[in-house]
Structure 1
Amino acid sequence: MSVEVGRSASETGSFAEIFGAFVKLGLVSFGGPIAHLGYFRDELVVRRRWLTESAYADLVALSQFLPGPASSKVGFTLGVMRGNGLLGGLAAWLGFTMPSALVLFVFALGASAFTGRVAEGIIHGLKLVAVAIVAQAIWGMAKNLTPDRQRIGIALAAVWITVAPIGMLGQIAAILVGALAGLWLCRSQGGPVTGHLDYPVTKRAGAIALVIFAVLLILPPILASVTGNQALALFDAFYRAGALVFGGGHVLLPLLQAEVVAPGWVSNETFLAGYGLTQAVPGPLFTFAAYLGAVMGPDPNGFVGAAIALVAVFLPGGLLAYGVLPFWDMVRVRPLAQAAMRGANAAVVGILGAAFYDPVWTSAVLAPVDFALALAGFLLLTAWKLPPWMVVLLMAAFGLTSGLVGGLI
């Protein structure tokens, strides 16, 4: 299998181009991290052709090994590649994160709780968008990454492993098993690697990032304990949560609840209200941190608290992704590494398939009409080639209508 960059992946994009592309994604990417990967693929792989399908799958597989917000790590890495360095990653992170973070910050300042039948209808419509987006992503990636029986089998095994009752370890185990199976089953498939994935990060810079990650994990709790500084304690709570969780924002929530509700920084009612609001906004669920930082009881809160919490929860994933990047291309060109990556990429398809059922399908398709609407969204994306934002608007409009009708009955 040839692993090459996309047609325009060798070009360097400006800060404005990268920021603009990810602002668009940040405004329309509903449905959680798995759905976000579908939006990324459609916009940056299919439409803009910043990189190839296999290169994108490499980034997705790499992100599964690292803790932190999965889709945000992929987005940050795409920005680093496109922008030829850290500034591009910063542009991607800001663009993808700020829309939902700002909305949640405004809610935290005193907006009314997003409740009622109309609100629930809109949220349900947006969940149906996620069903269509994830189905589209699985359809496209499966055609490219599971073209033979061996890799179809690996993808199926990944589904079984992911749905096993082993919690957050399921995705990591599926990737590891996929890579090991690839060493055995995928050695003879494909030719030599002819492309080059250009990760514009030096090994020295990567090592520095990994050292900073470790220092920030160890030092702040010690200093916070010695000095009693609340800002340090706030940073430590959110940084530790971001550093120790694999997967998406739903996995983060129990950790954050223990960090902010148990010490009395945020009431449980306020915490749950913010979580409900988070479901109504696009972008990464980790932006829930902005809401929590703003509503904190002790200082710092407000804008300063939101900024500290938001940066702290995303920083560990970004440092790890940046630190590992300079070693990734060196590893993937080796024949055994290629076979392992073919298996790992097939496992990514299986992981997406498992997530498509739970939580995407189970939380959205509750009646036959939901199935019909999700299917319509899928066909609008794949057959009629409508842009995702248009499908988002259509589904949200349906949800609004159903909420209004339900409220009148």
Structure 2
Amino acid sequence: MDETASQEAASVSGADPFREIIGVFQAFLVQGLTAFGGPVAHIGYFRREFVERRGWLSEDAFADLLALAQFLPGPASSQLGMAIGMRRAGYAGLLAAWAGFTLPAATAMIALGCLAPHLGDYWGQGVLHGLQIAAAAVVAQAVIAMARSLAVGPIRAGIAIGGAIGLLYVHGAMAQVLALVAGGLFGLAFLREEAAVPPDDPASHRVPPAVSATAIVLFALLLLLLPILAAVLDSPTLSLASVFYRTGALVFGGGHVVLPLLQDEVVGRGWLDQNTFLGGYGAAQALPGPRFSFAGFVGAAQEAAVAGWRGGLVALVAIFAPGLLLVTGVLPLWDRMKRQPAARAALGGLNAVVVGVLAAALWNPVLATAIHRPSDWALAAGAFVFLSIVRLPPWLVVLGFAALVGAFTR
């Protein structure tokens, strides 16, 4: 951590609130412009920026929020960003983190949905391949760095390795949740004597219990009432919002899992044809930021409900709203629970298994998607060297490898 970051981290409590909020927005806007590679890669980018460079939170506190984000339905990397933003600057920080991280990809996807151009030519496929290779190196760096602090010792290392092996054989969002539960149980059984004081920052912004409860109730009410109101009022806007809110509330596993759910809802209803739907999804893979920004494309391009940029905004806000409400509602409960000695032991196992979850994701889908031929291994190793040894900024490595691979596959 450089001197500027240290001073910034040390002066959170005395900083001007408006400047804190602007700082959160700017930091996440940079991530939204440069964090290529999907939700697993985003974790590596966030760790590099907010733990190593800015020092906004410790390694343990980062893993703590990551474990929570993995438990909740919705976009895990976006919810991790929301939680970091809330820790830094309260409710407004949560919104600033979400807006900054989402804005670049969302703007591009809504524009593409309005214009509906031809997507995914051969040059585009080469660039996408380069993005995937560089993202694999970013994830590998994050796995190694997190393992050094969160999977130290035979018990924690065993939990991490066991979680990784299990997820290599059993795939899916529920398998991830079960692995996290198993890690917590192993920690509860074997780490009671090693349990450390939970990570905490006295300058962290807290959520009052009344606000937390209101957010959880509102999450449930919207899930229940939106489809009823859409049917009773025969409102295209509410119908569109209902579909995307339900998708955001029920998806475990991140951006790739949203594809089949939205395909059933959108293509099945005749709102969008299959080729346009898949073309937009392909374009979303080549953009930085959250995969859920694909909702902006679908909302703008579909024909049966509110279309154009208004439809894109409705779909975008609706699919992210459950995550915003869940982070606001559950994070305070998480903070109170982890202070108990038994919960701290479980949290130690949970943090260790997070390393295993990330390692399994590195192998599949990250490397499985990025490595097509033996030469790709050399490219991935080169990207890792530039990141870890030369210590170039991740965005520079990612864009450089995208251009390099794209140029040679024209």
Residue 269 of structure 2: aligned partner: 263
Query: How high is the sequence identity, in percent, across the aligned residues?
Result: 45
Residue 154 of structure 1: aligned partner: 159
CA distance in 1, matches of 2:174, 2:233: 36
For the pair 1:122 / 2:127, whether they are aligned, the reply is: yes
Shift, 1:325, TM fit: 1.4
Equivalent residues of 1:179, 1:341 under 8 A apart:
yes
Residue 325 of structure 1: aligned partner: 331
352, 358, 363: which one aligns with 1:352? 358
Alignment of 1:267-282 (within 5 A): 267-282=273-288
For normalisation by structure 2, the TM-score amounts to: 0.94
Stretch of structure 1 that moved more, 372-381 or 103-112 = 103-112
Residue 33 of structure 2: aligned partner: 27
Q: Quick one: which amino acid aligns to residue 348 of structure 1? A: V
CA distance in 2, matches of 1:61, 1:169: 14
Residue 142 of structure 1: aligned partner: 147
Residue 109 of structure 1: aligned partner: 114
CA distance in 1, matches of 2:84, 2:186: 28
Shift, 1:166, TM fit: 5.4
Alignment of 1:4-403 (within 5 A): 7-8=9-10, 10-11=12-13, 14-83=20-89, 85-110=90-115, 112-165=117-170, 167-193=172-198, 195-196=200-201, 198-403=204-409
Deviations 1:228-266 (A, max 9, x none): 211111001000000001121100111101111111011
CA distance in 1, matches of 2:236, 2:162: 46
Equivalent residues of 1:39, 1:388 under 8 A apart:
yes
Equivalent residues of 2:60, 2:199 under 8 A apart:
no
Equivalent residues of 1:163, 1:170 under 8 A apart:
no
Deviations 1:71-104 (A, max 9, x none): 0000011111111x21111110010001001111
Stretch of structure 1 that moved more, 296-305 or 278-287 = 296-305
Q: What secondary structure does 2:213 align onto? A: helix
Q: Superposition RMSD on alpha carbons, in Å?
A: 1.5
Shift, 1:318, TM fit: 1.3
Q: 1:191 to 1:293 in 2, by over 3 A?
A: closer
Stretch of structure 1 that moved more, 9-18 or 244-253 = 9-18
Q: 1:199 to 1:173 in 2, by over 3 A?
A: farther
Q: 1:322 to 1:194 in 2, by over 3 A?
A: closer
Residue 407 of structure 1: aligned partner: none
Equivalent residues of 1:257, 1:271 under 8 A apart:
yes
Structure 2: gaps of 5 or more residues? 1-7
Q: 1:194 to 1:359 in 2, by over 3 A?
A: closer
Shift, 1:9, TM fit: 8.1
Q: What secondary structure does 2:409 align onto? A: helix
Residue 3 of structure 1: aligned partner: none
Equivalent residues of 2:195, 2:348 under 8 A apart:
no
Residue 5 of structure 2: aligned partner: none
Shift, 1:196, TM fit: 4.1
Q: What secondary structure does 1:246 align onto? A: coil
Shift, 1:299, TM fit: 3.4
Structure 1: gaps of 5 or more residues? 1-5, 405-409
CA distance in 2, matches of 1:120, 1:194: 43
Shift, 1:114, TM fit: 2.7
CA distance in 2, matches of 1:15, 1:199: 12
Q: Quick one: which amino acid aligns to residue 186 of structure 1? A: L
Equivalent residues of 1:161, 1:171 under 8 A apart:
no
For normalisation by structure 1, the TM-score amounts to: 0.94
Q: What secondary structure does 1:50 align onto? A: coil
CA distance in 1, matches of 2:147, 2:45: 16
